[in-house]
Structures are given as structure tokens and as C-alpha cells.
Amino acid sequence: MAEDNYGAAILGISEVAKLLLVAYFSLSHQRNMTEEQIRAELEAERVKFKAQSASRLPEV
């Protein structure tokens, strides 16, 4: 049972990492955005993804 939770956590972390990398590279190509704006967009995506993930994970 614990192995399943660890596996889910690892998969969740890797999904977040992929999401952040994609968001960073797509946003960094927009020249008119400052670094602060990019960071704010990334944080918003992270919060949104965390909320979605929390609703899908089973209670422990």
C-alpha cells in the first residue's frame, strides 16, 4: 500500500516537473514578458495543477 502512495507521489512530481518545463519554455519565448510575469504565470499553473492533483489522489 505504501509503495502505491510513493509511486503516485513520484508520478505526480514528474508530471509537475514536465508541466513547469513546458510552461517555462513556452512563456520564455514571449519577448514582451518580464521574468516576474513568467514566474507569476508558472506559479499560477503550479497552483492549478496542485489543486487538480489533490482532487484525484486517494485519501491516505
Residue 60 included in any domain:
no
How many structural domains compose the chain? 1
Residue type, 14: S
Contacts of 24 (CB under 8 A, 6+ apart): 38, 42
Residue 23 included in any domain:
yes
State the Cα–Cα distance between residues 37 and 35, nearest whole angstrom. Answer: 5
pLDDT greater than 60 at residue 1: no
pLDDT greater than 80 at residue 51: yes
Residue 25 included in any domain:
yes
Q: Which domain holds residue 49?
A: 2-55
Q: What three-state secondary structure class fits 9? A: helix
For the entire predicted model, the pTM comes to 0.44
